[in-house]
Structure 1
Amino acid sequence: MSFADVVVIGGGQAGLATAHTALRQGWTPVVLDASTGPGGSWPRYYDSLTLFSPARFSALPGMPFPGDPDRYPVRDEVVAYLSRYAQGLDADLRWGQRVERVERRDGGFVVYTVDGTLVESRMVVAASGGFSRPYRPVLPGLESFTGTVSHSAEYRNPTSFAGARVVVVGGGNSAVQIAVELAETARVSITTRRPLRWQSQRILGRDFHWWLTRTRLDTAALGPRLFKGTQPVLDDGRYRAAVRAGRPDHRPLFTRLDGDRVVWADGSRERVDVLILATGLRPELAYLQDTSALNDSGAPLHQGGVSTTVPGLGYVGLERQRSFASATLRGVGRDAGYVLKALASRAARARVDR
């Protein structure tokens, strides 16, 4: 068994930012990640993924994103950036170490990996992200649908969809980006419960994220409340034009699925080859199930990323955990600083109380 001041579970953007912050505070972090190398979920995203924020707003603490700061980096550039970031950290980064469970012991923790490795620590930060478990909503007839059902997390490129009739469920950035790309080779509809909400990529010549940063809305506590319940699609004009031209077309969510048919809201029925659920992802925190950290649905009980039920446990990388930017490259560093400071403060109070 080895010892660390803090065990960071996850070596993607959230985990690396947390390790960097821990090192700056003089702590010894151990990072455990199931993947074979740094990058988190990024290597598994679809081939054409392009960041919705410019490079200048897409960096982790201590290392600017290289190249033209006003360009929009693609997936492979982010993977390369995270690899370089990991190489520059003087931290114990352990790849291929899937965490099986976390156990509370003697005021601290013991973290167990699948291969039998044990690490003891005073604190644990779950930084495995909020995008590890594809969310599949309850849709009438989905279980008996005889066409192909996949999730956007499984989508890579349009090659295998040529000539198919495809329906994409969801109205977020990825849903629209995937649907527009597919519409070049397939007949595609995007369907949502609510109207698509467009957000211009540039306002008065400045990127949307410049305005968020300047007004501090993306890092303010107001951010999650301001954008709650909306599905803004960042667009430079291309996506909105494609949807208006019917490539893809946009329709209200169907009422049900029946065999290989979709029953639309107007009662019409149509055969569909492929249903792609672009319905988001949820954090995978099963390794915490032996603690009291999760609610009945497996979601973390926390305030601002600090566990409200397990002293010494924190989270970094959850969607909107503290701000609109919490689950982004530009937001995880700020949240890591807040969480580690809060955990250290609580630990110090606990020692005094004894």
Structure 2
Amino acid sequence: MTKVWDAIVIGGGQAGLATGYHLRKLGLRFLILEATEQAAGSWPKYYDSLKLFSPARFSSLPGMKFPGNPDKYPSKSEVVSYLKDYTKHFELPVMIDKQIVSVEKINKEFTVRTKSGKEFQSKTIINATGSFQSPYKPLIRGQEIFKGGIIHSSEYQKPDAFVNQRIVVVGRGNSAVQIVIELAGVSKTTLAVRQPVHLIKQRLLGRDIHFWLKVTGFDTFPFWRFGKTTPSSNSVIDLGQYSEQLAQGSPDQQPMFTSFDSDGVIWSEGRNEKVDTVIFATGYQNNITHLKEIGAIDSNGHPFHVGGVSTSVQGLYYVGLEGQRSFSSATLRGVGSDAQYVVRKLVRYLKDNS
């Protein structure tokens, strides 16, 4: 007889692990299906120099503090180690190399199919896939004739391959600025922006900015309850001498180029410039196409949900969506609260449908 789980969590990164913690705490029978070879989400694939924008004291999943100095800004490798330790500590039932291709629902039961052909049955689904696998690259005129390199920031690892090149990084968020500052040390680099970068200090009145976000309640304010989307921040946290370097023009900022030509880009004033590589640090799109068949997403790939509870498919939930319930949703410090809320809703659903 095929086993039917209480819940299947799709995705074994920070959102999936936080969800697993709350499912385990309530004694539910569940699995976490992770597409890659380890339960660390997208962290192993990020660029090598990446650091968290929040200190360790504000960067923990539920039930287990981030180790080490609470005022330190953890590195990529430290986050990966933390997630691995978290999985082991709570004995979370993660199955790796389980890439999901489709989800079907017949009556009140879901069937999850993997790329290898394996199937799992469950009463509920919690999607926690994140968006790293769906990088957004804008289409810009002349892109097809450009002879240089075009990559997304998700493909960037370290500056070694870009020494002495002419680089243009497109974007004005934290990753764009961190990458362009790093590359400025080995190449001639420009940040192409629609609007100038807005930097905010990492520390205010002796405290990290995340302390003030927490004590003011802004970090977890439930905008969604008032029918409003969570405001996204276009500000960049200055993790080092960002403001100094940008002010000195190393790297410089220029208004976004209008098009490519075969050798480079054409800037807004009509000037052509030869460029070796363009890096799009332009964010990501939702990675939930496997939910299309059950009517869970709209024509643009966005899920129908309120606070992580699907409004189109009963028994379907989300954790890890940007702005899902608060400003801190989809971050290490925010997924635990969202997971707890969603699991409570899931338990009520199971009771009502038992």
Query: TM-score w.r.t. structure 2 length?
Result: 0.95
Matched residue type, 1:148:
G
1:339 maps onto 2:342 in alignment: yes
Measured in 1, the distance between the counterparts of 2:246 and 2:230 equals: 26
Secondary structure at 1:96 match in 2: coil
Measured in 2, the distance between the counterparts of 1:116 and 1:25 equals: 31
- Deviation, 1:283, is 2.3
Calculate the aligned-residue CA RMSD, in Å. 1.6
Structure 2 partner of 1:140: 141
Contact 2:32 2:93 in 1 (8 A): yes
Structure 2 partner of 1:25: 26
Q: Residue deviations 1:17-55, cap 9 Å, x none?
A: 001011112211200011111111000000000111000
Structure 2 partner of 1:153: 154
Measured in 1, the distance between the counterparts of 2:73 and 2:43 equals: 15
Matches within 5 A, 1:199-218: 199-218=200-219
- Deviation, 1:350, is 5.1
Structure 1 window deviating more from structure 2 (82-91 vs 203-212): it is: 82-91
Contact 1:10 1:33 in 2 (8 A): yes
Contact 1:317 1:326 in 2 (8 A): yes
Matched residue type, 2:330:
A
- Deviation, 1:238, is 0.7
Structure 1 window deviating more from structure 2 (293-302 vs 273-282): it is: 293-302
Taking a change above 3 Å as real, the CA distance of residues 178 and 154 of structure 1, as seen in their structure-2 partners, is same
Matched residue type, 1:106:
N
Secondary structure at 1:103 match in 2: strand
Matched residue type, 1:227:
P
Measured in 1, the distance between the counterparts of 2:268 and 2:186 equals: 26
1:308 maps onto 2:308 in alignment: no
Structure 1 window deviating more from structure 2 (268-277 vs 97-106): it is: 97-106
Measured in 1, the distance between the counterparts of 2:206 and 2:10 equals: 40
Measured in 2, the distance between the counterparts of 1:284 and 1:311 equals: 20
Taking a change above 3 Å as real, the CA distance of residues 225 and 128 of structure 1, as seen in their structure-2 partners, is closer
Matches within 5 A, 1:120-135: 120-135=121-136
Contact 2:229 2:323 in 1 (8 A): no
Measured in 1, the distance between the counterparts of 2:138 and 2:305 equals: 24
Taking a change above 3 Å as real, the CA distance of residues 314 and 11 of structure 1, as seen in their structure-2 partners, is same
Taking a change above 3 Å as real, the CA distance of residues 338 and 226 of structure 1, as seen in their structure-2 partners, is closer
1:278 maps onto 2:284 in alignment: no
- Deviation, 1:349, is 4.2
Contact 1:306 1:314 in 2 (8 A): yes
Which 5+ residue runs of structure 2 have no aligned equivalent? none
Measured in 1, the distance between the counterparts of 2:311 and 2:200 equals: 35
Secondary structure at 1:34 match in 2: coil
- Deviation, 1:143, is 2.9
Measured in 2, the distance between the counterparts of 1:338 and 1:132 equals: 26
Contact 2:167 2:189 in 1 (8 A): yes
Matches within 5 A, 1:1-354: 1-222=2-223, 227-228=231-232, 230-236=233-239, 238-349=241-352
Secondary structure at 1:134 match in 2: coil
Taking a change above 3 Å as real, the CA distance of residues 222 and 241 of structure 1, as seen in their structure-2 partners, is farther
Matched residue type, 1:74:
S
Secondary structure at 1:290 match in 2: helix
Contact 1:28 1:91 in 2 (8 A): no
Q: Residue deviations 1:152-208, cap 9 Å, x none?
A: 000000001001000000000000000000000000000111121111110111000
Secondary structure at 2:69 match in 1: coil
Measured in 1, the distance between the counterparts of 2:148 and 2:47 equals: 22
Segments of 4+ moved more than 6 angstroms: none
Taking a change above 3 Å as real, the CA distance of residues 80 and 236 of structure 1, as seen in their structure-2 partners, is closer
Taking a change above 3 Å as real, the CA distance of residues 225 and 245 of structure 1, as seen in their structure-2 partners, is farther
Measured in 2, the distance between the counterparts of 1:114 and 1:227 equals: 36
Measured in 2, the distance between the counterparts of 1:249 and 1:2 equals: 58
Taking a change above 3 Å as real, the CA distance of residues 227 and 289 of structure 1, as seen in their structure-2 partners, is closer
Matched residue type, 1:280:
G
Q: How many residues align?
A: 350
Which 5+ residue runs of structure 1 have no aligned equivalent? none
Measured in 2, the distance between the counterparts of 1:316 and 1:151 equals: 25
Contact 1:200 1:237 in 2 (8 A): no
Measured in 1, the distance between the counterparts of 2:163 and 2:91 equals: 47
Matched residue type, 2:209:
F
Contact 1:2 1:118 in 2 (8 A): no
Secondary structure at 2:131 match in 1: coil
Measured in 1, the distance between the counterparts of 2:230 and 2:106 equals: 40
